[in-house]
Structure 1
């Protein structure tokens, strides 16, 4: 084993070898680097005065040109494009803008300045060596002018959303898909214009979509889950031992598919309409029967009461629940409960409201033997025995109908346009006046009447009523506590109308003096149909009705009547 500390084995250097000199490679490297930097900087300086070859600005080739040449090329070829309208497009339409009016222009010096100039950026220098590409022009923008121009163009670029619709009218599904609207984004549109114009004459605007209130997905959900089922077939309604069908077209008007504020749709029924539809169908199928009121008839003044008959009606709440459930489900049968219905005018009410006394009576007079008397007598025969239930309305035209010769009426005198004339049924205005006064003193509600155009002395001033088919009426409503039997009797010289019932009021009549008097004129008429006429002054008069119950005044009424003057007419036609 060799002893490492044995100095005999050591190897000493020879002092006769040359000593190493200084190292030179760092200096060589530095020199190479310096030369490269100088070459890089020289190249950068030389290349910086020119646009990289292959460079285009908005389609104009300016590659390899110096700054002045590039400016000239852009001014010559690019600036004329900026005078053409800028077309903005959207999903709703398009609009043309005058670039200058919209504050848009190309900044040629700035555009070229971005492409030339000394730089040590290797990417830029590489573009000079390898070639450039398409570059956007630098725009000079008046933002306020652009925003104003774009606001004016919104009418063509923006669109409100179009709501969709869903319905089952006619028993079939009608669906229209909604359409999203668009709202132009000013800042985004300006950015698009700066990027693409004037290289492109047409630029699509940046816009936000405006969704409809009810999305298509919600309409389609309701269509698939409800509407399709609702119109799949008829609904069978069972009630009162009978059944009848409602086709989708029948119940469709009661289906409501209106959206809520949050855009959701919950199908519901228009309860009033649904009930109306079902009641109508039930009546036709005799599942629902109208109650029959008691009927009162008279032989003279002796009454006879025919008992009322109860009816059957479908329960409204049951209709709303059962029928609606069947409309929206696969189970298409609805069982509806019913109830017994009594008429308002029951047998007991009929008996309790039978006439017990004379309520009022009024008589007017005429000369015997006139043709008008035949008409008064005929009309009185028809009206005599009319029974007006409590709350029911009496209409003289309604009872008599049109007066014709076939009904026994003859031609007699009337007043037409302020002149005497003849017409079939003429003269029954006297019966109408008699009825009006009986109604006046009975205290019933006076609904419609019309005084004669000029005053006739046989009638009370202001308390008279003419009548004509079909426009002039005499109508009143029985507001007493019992039924009213109307008795109309005639003699050779008079007609009397008497109301039998349950007296409720004591009625006092008042009348003012005549005022606003107008004297008649004298008229000479040579017409073949002329009828002589005696003069009557025109005037206004106020008539009052004071109604008392138990000695206390319960109501006061005043009626004002204006009569025209009846001219003094002399007929000269000699045939």
Structure 2
């Protein structure tokens, strides 16, 4: 037992370790404490200032101090920057731009040449420029322009400063190749022009567009090489074209007509065979190996439209032949090409016609003639009517009488009959066709179809309605009408021994089409003219001259919906007498 007052025994037998006490830290001098405080304060101020500068420099999407064309867009969001540009440039982007071309100044319309500022792209470029704390920064606008349209707008304004390039070419005189050598000119280079306009737009005016020397892409040496390697051997002999129905020979003269060795607008010559010229040149031999497709037709039978289905054809693929022919022309032997044959469908099928709404007669017009069917004049009228009978005019198409009949000559069956030449009646091939033209014109007129081209006679003939009549003369005078209705139109012709009738079959668009005439005015009397008698002299009794108006009146739903005015002044037709002028007159 421990005795009272003795130390309390430890619960562990480990020896006790004595740890020496650490003396308290020494208090720093007063001056050192001040320096620490000041340093901390400065660091804090620097951090605050740096943060403020960062906030100042990074305000918005676009760095502060950024301008475009003098407009400040800095420290703004992209949307606000774009808005600021649109407001600041209002009215400037659409204003005509003066451009200096040599010694003259012209104006271009930004809209016409595609000149525009891409505001969003300009703002994006400004936003990507990085940030800065102080100063300013100018960003160029992103400008677009259509170089081709700009070039076209300025090219005609060059005047004496323009000197066209002489384009290289190889032409043929018969079968002899004739080189045309290139020559440089002065003018505009589209990309350089576009660059000048992009960089100068909305800056100092007028813009100056450089006038430069321009050179054709094909050189004189290359022209000579083409003559030697292609043009000369091309016409050195015929080319044989083989088909499954026989052979076709393409002669040197036909090759010369279809081989194209002219330059494009840059002056580059790319040899090619003109497919249309080739087909025209060898049309006769092609006809022996081809079966032409036939279009579906419409005829009026027993007072109703009757459709005859078209038939397919089998013809030479002249597009492929043109390519293959070009491949053998440099050769002087082995000049044989195997043609590719292809099926050809009718351009118009019975299914096409069924959709055109040809169901009723919408107009008809008749004129009278004298002399019976034995008269050459009557025969010309009937022949023209037969050529036109059954013609189909689809919606939007224009019918041309000259285009449909072609030249009306002796070989086509036309005969000499009186026609007006030089103000008097003389015999002429196809005389009388004007009467058919007038009849056709009136049928299209009363069908409500669009008048495209017609010319009344210089003298008035009582067999025709005044003003609304038409003459024709190959190739200078034609008669044309356009089918401006949504339906197809079929021309139906018929004749008797003293009349010609033209009817139009379609679907009626108007309730009625009628004519109202004004009174005749400015009436003049005929004079008497004596002509040398002979077989070519044709007498005429003469007629008054006058001016008159005719109004084509369209009605639909019981109301007038349209009115068209036609006016014409007829000369007084002289009284022609085939005799010597009596003494004293």
Instruction: State if a TM-score over 0.5 links the two structures.
Output: no
Larger Rg computed on CA atoms = 1
Task: Give the alignment's TM-score, normalised by structure 2.
Answer: 0.43
